[in-house]
Amino acid sequence: MKLALLQAKKNLGNTSDNPAVGCVIVKNNFVMSSGCTGINGRPHAEQNALIYSRNDIKKSNLYVTLEPCSNYGKTSPCVKSIIKSKINKVFFSLKDPDTRSNNKCTKQFKKNRVKVNCGILSSEMKNFYRSYYKSKACGLPFVTAKMAVSKDYYTKNNKGKWITNEFSRGRVHLMRQNHDCVLSSSKTISDDNSSLTCRIMGLEKRSPIRIILDKKLEISTRSTIVKTAYKYRTIIFFNKNNKKKIKTLKNLKIILVKTSLKDDGNFDIKKILFKIKKFGFSRIFLESGLKLTTYFLTEGLIDDLHLFISSKKLGNNGSNNFKKVIKLFSKNIKFVNEKVNLHGDKLITYRFV
């Protein structure tokens, strides 16, 4: 099951609204085959593992991280394929919260003389499937926020682009690739001229879709993000009748979503998150400045926050301090998940849900 979980992790954040599942087929203590949910959610992990087994897998045991599906969706039921393959015993860790499959496979397996066991490694798996369970329960995507601060907690370096070191920044790229999309504001984009892609060799194709909140369509057509939109899907939420700019951005392959504002003249972020989920994005990586991140915290919309703390102070060269914000919301922190040392920089993960 640990191997199956490693398989599941391979495509996390790249399976759209389908969960990232892992599957391992074992016979006489040999791994016969393995598979994970395909990019964009299909084929399912079990189908991949069954198809790619080169040897005879009859009477094998099959380990899968999530309850195999038993319904006809966009693909045919994994339960049926497993039965057809004459698997001896199925071990799955968690029940699928999707009502079409929930608690349904055991009966079908037993009817066809396939043994079943549920629950191995369930606490580790519950952790892994937090985003899937959340999106199934309330229709909102899972939000992971990232903040980079100096040792004295400034989020902005007035004298340069970077605050944290290259190891921290590499870790951010790794985090980007297991999310469907990265969310930022046009203000942050214009401050940093960021590209928000994953630039780890071999993982470039895992770059998330970029979503920018830009109420007044102020984004510069010369910004890296706009210039690379032909290569990396980019969506802008806006509210402005600027026909010329709309045409220019559309020609540059930007997808534009006009969105109404609240009475106070701001975007309704929760409404935007529901919309993002409807696009099929379940895991969002929020990479923005102090203002938008604080707003997300105020609205209780952040699930995990990764705080990268540099070993260097910025002093007079720093602005937009995060210290008071994190202190203010510390009462909402359920627990601190990890503490990683990145060559002097520190990474602390706060869990809010």
Give yes or no for residue 4 binding Zn ion (CB under 5 A).
Answer: no
Stretch binding ligand AOF (CB under 6 A), from 17-25, 151-159, 255-263, 277-285: 17-25
- By C-alpha distance, which of 64, 297, 296, 70 is closest to 185? 296
Contacts of 198 (CB under 8 A, 6+ apart): 173, 174, 176, 177, 204, 206, 207, 208
Question: Is residue 180 within 8 Å of residue 286, measured between CB atoms?
Answer: no
Dihedral (Cα; 291, 215, 256, 276), 10-degree rounding: 40
Q: Which amino acid is at 206?
A: R
Binding status of residue 207 toward ligand AOF by CB under 6 A: no
CA distances from 236 to 233, 247, 256, 346 (A): 10, 13, 5, 32
Residues 27, 63 contacting (CB under 8 angstroms): no
- Is residue 50 involved in binding Zn ion (CB under 5 A)? no
Minimum CB separation from ligand AOF for residue 271, in Å?
Answer: 24
When binding is defined by CB under 6 A, the residue of 21, 198, 213, 326 that contacts ligand AOF is: 21
* Binding partner of 347, given Zn ion, ligand AOF, none, CB within 5-8 angstroms per partner class: none
Determine which residue in the list 45, 87, 163, 307 makes contact with ligand AOF, applying CB under 6 A. 45
Q: Would you list the DSSP string of 31-83?
A: EEEEEEPPGGG-S-HHHHHHHT--S--TT-EEEEEEPPP-S-SSS--HHHHHH
Stretch that binds ligand AOF, among 34-42, 224-232, 248-256, 259-267 (CB under 6 A): 34-42
95-103, 196-204, 245-253, 267-275 -> range binding ligand AOF (CB under 6 A): 95-103
Residue number of the CB atom closest to ligand AOF: 73
Q: Which of 27, 44, 156, 187 forms a contact with Zn ion (CB under 5 A)? A: 44
Tell whether residue 213 is a contact of Zn ion (CB under 5 A). no
Enumerate the active-site residues: 46
161's CB contacts (< 8 A; 6+ apart) are 192
- Centre a 10 Å sphere on the Cβ of residue 62 and count the other Cβ atoms it contains: 27
Number of residues that bind ligand AOF (CB under 6 A): 18
Give the amino acid at 202: G
CB of 104 to Zn ion, least distance (A): 12
* Among the listed residues 29, 54, 74, 331, the single contact to ligand AOF using CB under 6 A: 74
Q: Does 98 bind ligand AOF (CB under 6 A)?
A: yes
87 binds ligand AOF (CB under 6 A): no
Cα 201–205–210 angle (5° rounding)?
A: 115
Q: Looking at 7, 27, 44, 104, which residue binds ligand AOF (CB under 6 A)?
A: 44
Choose the contact partner of 42 out of ligand AOF, Zn ion, none; CB within 5 to 8 A by kind: ligand AOF
Q: Which of 13, 19, 141, 208 binds ligand AOF (CB under 6 A)?
A: 19
At 326, give phi and psi (nearest 5°). Answer: -65, -30
Task: Note the residues at the interface with ligand AOF (CB under 6 A).
Answer: 18-19, 21, 37, 41-42, 44-46, 68-69, 73-75, 78, 96, 98, 101
